[in-house]
Amino acid sequence: MLRIVGYIDAGSGSYLLAAIASGAAGTWFFLRSKFADLRGRGAKNSEQTSDITASE
């Protein structure tokens, strides 16, 4: 098993690198939005307050 060497050509390598980078970026933005919701600065709160002020 140790004698088998994996080979990734340039096209597959760049595809895997893009998939890993986009997954990391997506995770970062997801976590950042969840922490903003926890702190009360998320988009949900701003939409609710704008609806309340518009109806008055």
Is residue 38 one of the residues assigned to a domain? yes
- Residues 44, 52: contact at Cβ < 8 Å? no
Q: Tens of pLDDT along 6-53?
A: 788 888 889 999 999 999 999 999 999 999 888 887 666 555 555 555
The domain containing residue 34 runs over which residues?
A: 22-55
What percent of the chain is helix, strand and coil (3-state, nearest 5)? 75, 0, 25
Is residue 28 one of the residues assigned to a domain? yes
What is the total count of domains within the chain? 1
Distances (CA, A) of 34 to 2, 7, 22, 39, 42: 43, 39, 18, 9, 8
Is residue 26 one of the residues assigned to a domain? yes
Q: Evaluate if pTM is beyond 0.75.
A: no
Is residue 17 one of the residues assigned to a domain? no
Is residue 5 one of the residues assigned to a domain? no
Quickly state the pLDDT bin for 2 (edges 50, 70, 90).
low
On the question of pLDDT at 55 being above 60, the answer is no
Is residue 44 one of the residues assigned to a domain? yes
Is residue 41 one of the residues assigned to a domain? yes
pLDDT at 33: 92
